[in-house]
Amino acid sequence: MPEPRPRSELRSSAEADLAFLRSIVDGGGRTPMTLAVCYLAGGLLYGVQCLFHAGQAFGLIRWPDLANLLFVVGISAAFLSILTWAILKDRKDGGTNRGPVAGRTLNAAFSATGMANTAVIIVFAVGAWRDQDFAIWLYYAAIVFALQAAAWYVAWTLKKKGWMLATALGGWVTAVALGVTVREPLIYLGICTVALFLLFALPGWILFNDARSKPA
């Protein structure tokens, strides 16, 4: 028959178990820099691109076609450069597969959303090119915001932060609004511009501050 464990040892073990459970519920751990930068840089850069297109629509920007193309390509090149830096930084800091279960679950949810976004881009791009209908391509943004809303809802269920729920609801509303305005270019562009700054750049800034403030 095993000897009973000392009371102090039992108390220490119970406290350790409670701390572990609390880390799962609270979702502690460092926010991956890659995730933060995807939202912050993506929201800012593509939000600026939308403002650029709005300037074109209202006749405020009248650049040659080559200059327009270089600007658009430059936006994507800048985003990929910043994203590469963030990925390398995360690897240097130990990657994103460590930490509490909730944190890893959250990372997996956003990674899966990114994979789905890639498939959506390919499907709508091919469909728009095949049917020669640019409106088909515009539906892609609505789906992206819907997928992001789902990912942020998962984040909210894990971390219970109000701004995450607000971002999820905002993404859902934006997805519907974009889907019903694809034939209204100016309204569509305005919705997309505001959503990129509020639902991508702003959450990205919050995550970026969290990624910098917490140790790996």
Compute mean pLDDT per 10 residues along the chain, 216 residues long, and list them: 53 50 47 82 93 92 91 90 81 58 58 71 80 83 90 87 94 96 93 96 91 64
* pLDDT of the residue at 52: 94
d(C-alpha 94, C-alpha 114), whole Å: 21
* Per-residue pLDDT, 86: 79
What's the one-letter identity of residue 33?
M
Residues 157 and 170 in one domain: yes
Chain mean position to CA 134: 25
The total domain count for the chain is 2
Nearest by Cα to 89 from 47, 50, 33, 144: 33
This prediction's pTM:
0.75
One domain for residues 106 and 179: yes
Q: Considering the domain boundaries, does residue 23 fall inside one?
A: no
C-alpha–C-alpha distance, residues 103 and 35, integer Å: 12
Residue 88 contacts by C-beta under 8 Å, 6 or more apart in sequence?
A: none
Residue 22 confidence (pLDDT): 47
Q: Distance between CA atoms of 91 and 94, rounded to whole angstroms?
A: 5
Residues 55 and 74 in one domain: yes
pLDDT of residue 191: 96
Tell me if 14 is assigned to some domain: no
Q: Are residue 106 and residue 178 in the same domain, yes or no?
A: yes
Residues spanned by the domain of 47: 31-95+187-216
Do 109 and 169 fall into the same domain? yes
- Residue 160 CB partners (closer than 8 Å, separation 6+): none
Indicate if 174 and 201 belong to the same structural domain: no
Residue 172 and residue 110 in one domain: yes
Give the three-class secondary structure for 93: coil
Distance CA 192, CA 52 (A): 12
Instruction: Give the model's pLDDT for residue 164.
Output: 93
91 and 109 share one domain: no
Return the CA Rg of the chain: 22
